Amino acid sequence: MLSAKGYELLFARIDQWVANKKGKHLARVPMFRSYLFINHAIGKHDYIDISNTKGMVRILGDRWDRLAIIPNQEINDIKSLCCCDTPVSSHPFLNRGDKVRVTRGSLKNTQGILVKSDQHTGLLVVSVSLLNRSVAVEVNCTDVVPI
């Protein structure tokens, strides 16, 4: 409906294995469940028009003139992931400083603080409070979850 009204939309979807009664099969699922991205200069009329669209719950932001904006680089990254041949899967959001737990490999169940992360790797710091000492190890960011 929004596309028919002239809004530029991005509904990011990825291929993912899903299970049903017949077994597992590959399906195209939303990359970010329940989110639709709109690239449009939105005035008060547009805000009301979009808000009243069937299925729309709300627009992110404080009000029509203070909308949440996603940086162009992040949108371009999402578009790239939608078109790539590499498998893409959902992952918990991590920030530097988050307390995390390793889920796989030789460090499984190790907990620490993620102090650095880039596209693939992060630096996990494990501390011994009583000694006021810490050690750091490089980890695969897909192997850690927030705790």
**What is the pLDDT of the chain when averaged over all its residues?**
86
| pTM as predicted | 0.67
Q: How far is CA 81 from CA 36, 39, 45, 85, in A?
A: 16, 18, 33, 8
The residue written with tokens 């939608």 in the block is 82
> pLDDT tens, 70-91?
988 889 988 888 887 777 777 6
Q: Give the pLDDT confidence score for residue 131 in this predicted structure.
A: 65
Q: Does residue 130 register a pLDDT over 70?
A: no
DSSP 108: T
Confidence of residue 128 (pLDDT cuts 50, 70, 90): low
The residue written with tokens 């796989």 in the block is 104
